[in-house]
Chain A
Amino acid sequence: MNQTLIKESVTDKLFLSIVYIFLSIVLILILFPLLHILSASFSSPSAVTSGKVWLWPVDFTLVGYKAVFQNSDILVGFGNSFFYTIVGTLVNVAFTVMLAYPLARKTFYGRGLIMILIVFTMFFDGGLIPNYLLVKSLGMVNTRWAMIIPGALAVFQVIIARTFFQSIPEELAEAAEMDGCSDMRFFLRIVLPLSKPILAVLFLMYAVGHWNAYFNALIYLKDSSMFPLQIFLRNILILNSENSDMLTNVNSLLVQQGLKDLLKYSLIVVSSAPVLIIYPFVQRHFVKGVMIGSLKG
């Protein structure tokens, strides 16, 4: 008995070290490409083009970032993306809690029916063309509304929020009702202050969604003054069609090519920074949100 215990603990130790090695490899595989891009963005154009950059910056410079912030398109994109993210997220969160809270209350007559109506949309939708024609007939194509209204609500988030609201005891609402507190007042004064964790989750998920979205802009917007950052990123990073004003003060073709490559790295860093900087601070909430959504989905 004693011997088997020792023997097993040896295999257990071996197993555990395999687990640690496995997780370390995972960690490196995810971190390395990110660090490489970060380092390349701080390196000199020639070091990037000739492939000298691995994990640390080579010939540290801020040329790439200078080029990014000299580009008028990118600044316009940043401005637009901030606007869509802030306004869009406010609309999203408001709509989500407005729908989710009554659905969590047993005294809300007809909630079963509404719930079915909502959940059904998760599994069946009209598709791209009918959606586009609807937005077009509402006159929203090529307006800023198209970036806010068609995605005003994500059904999945409603279900997560509803699950959270259901955890607030019904007795609390009953007691408040007895004391003459209206549903609206109870919602604003009691429920919302109790719901900070879920509000944080909703803000985060929706804001990230807005910041990263490009599809609605691709199909609904024509006018480049309204483009969000992601569309400009696509043009520069993927279609390779940057406008030339960021390269005007460079004359040699070789340096221009190098700067073009470098610019991509800096642009990737600059555009992802807002989200990735906030992320560690809100990670706790966001994990909680996924758990709320998963345990009772």
Chain B
Amino acid sequence: MEVTSSKAVPPNPSERITPRKKAGTSAGRKIMKHWQFYLLVFLPLLYIIIFKYIPMFGVIIAFKEYNVVQGILGSPWAGLKYFKQLFEVPFFWQYFKNTLEISLYGMAIGFPAPIILALALNEIRNGIFKKSVQMVTYAPYFISTVVIVSILIVNLSPNVGLLSNAFRALGMEPVDFLGKAGFFKTIYVFSDVWQFTGYGAIIYIAALSGVNPDLYEAAKVDGASRFQKIINIDIPSLIPVIVILLILNLGQMMSLGFEKIYLMQNPLNQNTSEVISTYVYKVGLLGANFSFSAAIGLFNSVINFVLLILVNFISKKISSNSLW
């Protein structure tokens, strides 16, 4: 190995010719020549295999009677017992429905929001106002989930906070928004919009800045209004990005983030706030029911994966935009 590296100078020019002579030079030779690449990727790749692929095989505990003593491989098989059990849990479909509803609601509001913001920002000229809007709208992305939920709690609580102040100022009785199950989804979705719209808009702003200026010139000559330019130039040029992001979003529909929902939960809103990921955590780690919990997780991942492939396939058929 050292020979190839330190004496790389003289053999190099000749080696640049040899591959063309012997078209199928061995893989080993190509590897030896650039062995340092393999040195570089060794640790990260080891990480990927251990921390990404081993857990993938670890999901077999969903089919086993896992116990700590015998470990993953040693534990006896349970077949589909836990999957059957899953469908018998009385609240499971409720959690499934909550997951789906929050996701779809979130997508219905949260997906178009950054597009609208980007289109609006694209209309105004570069200046302090545009820069401030961009800077301020990106900022909430950097606030932690814990703090976001705290802000929600502080502002929505019936005791202190903006909304209750406003209610009192108007002579109305303050409402405990987070204690009302009916408000949970809306609070979740709109606080996400508040936090992520600016960040989400960056991709679209980038795509819009790449639009060929000739198109606008031509539209101007044709007497198109600003609004017509948005409809006929801006939106069509965003379609590829929109489709890709839509596929990715739909593919993650069931993997609703655990972090924020878990923090927003309280006994009063449990009915609408329990989703699959929080249930997996509670059953699995808090209840130490590993196999059952892994079965729920696997069920969820499979749905996600199938959705992703399905949506990608459909999109490929109709719009020729796809992930692969």
Contacts and interface: CB of A to CB of B under 8 A. Distances in A.
B27 A125 contact: no
A291 to B, nearest CB: 4
Contacts of B138: 279, 283, 286-287
Contact of B132 (A8, A27, A182): A27
Contacts of B280: 127-129
A12 B225 contact: yes
A7 to B, nearest CB: 10
Contact of A127 (B5, B39, B55): B55
Nearest to B15: A177
Nearest to B252: A123
A72 interface: no
B56 A124 contact: yes
A238 interface: yes
A178 to B, nearest CB: 6
The dominant DSSP class at the B interface is helix
Nearest to A12: B226
A31 B40 contact: no
A272 interface: yes
B144 interface: yes
Given A128-B293, A152-B51, A153-B47, A4 B56 contact: no
B93 interface: no
Nearest to B209: A291
Contact of B48 (A118, A124, A127): A118
A23 B37 contact: no
B223 A26 contact: no
Interface stretch (B83-91, B115-123, B180-188, B314-322): B115-123
A19 B297 contact: no
B203 A290 contact: yes
Contact of B45 (A16, A99, A267): A99
Contacts of A177: 8, 12
Interface residues of A, number: 98
Given A126-B59, A134-B58, A31 B149 contact: no
Interface residues of B, number: 101
Interface in A108-134: 108-110, 114, 117-118, 121, 123-134
A158 B124 CA distance: 34
A189 interface: no
B49 to A, nearest CB: 8
B16 to A, nearest CB: 8
Interface string A19-34: 1101100110111011
Contact of B52 (A114, A121, A276): A121
B40 A98 contact: yes
A159 to B, nearest CB: 12
B243 to A, nearest CB: 12
B139 interface: yes
Contacts of B284: 128-129, 132
A214 B145 contact: yes
Contacts, number: 285
A214 B56 contact: no
A88 to B, nearest CB: 13
B165 A51 contact: yes
Interface stretch (A59-67, A194-202, A229-237, A247-255): A229-237
Task: Tell me whether chain A's interface is mostly helix, strand or loop, or mixed.
Answer: helix
Contacts of A107: 30, 33-34, 37
B77 interface: no
Contact of B194 (A4, A30, A183): A30
B301 A125 contact: yes
B239 interface: no
Given A23-B120, A98-B40, A124-B56, A180 B12 contact: yes
A219 B259 CA distance: 12
A22 to B, nearest CB: 6
B230 to A, nearest CB: 9
Contact of B41 (A99, A238, A264, A272): A99
B175 to A, nearest CB: 14
Contacts of A155: 48, 52
Contacts of A275: 142-143
Interface in B23-50: 27, 30-31, 33-34, 36-41, 43-45, 47-48, 50
Contacts of A139: none
Given A276-B142, A280-B135, A95 B259 contact: no
B164 interface: yes
B120 A8 contact: no
Nearest to B281: A128
B9 interface: yes
A268 B151 contact: yes
A208 interface: yes
20 contacts: A5-B223, A15-B123, A19-B120, A37-B154, A51-B160, A99-B40, A102-B38, A125-B301, A126-B54, A127-B280, A127-B300, A131-B55, A149-B51, A180-B9, A211-B144, A219-B285, A238-B150, A271-B144, A286-B138, A290-B203
Given A19-B124, A130-B57, 4 more contacts: A15-B225, A125-B56, A126-B59, A280-B135
For the complex of A and B, list the 9 residue pairs with the smallest distance between their C-beta atoms, beginning with the closest: A126-B55, A130-B58, A127-B297, A212-B144, A99-B44, A237-B150, A130-B55, A180-B9, A102-B37
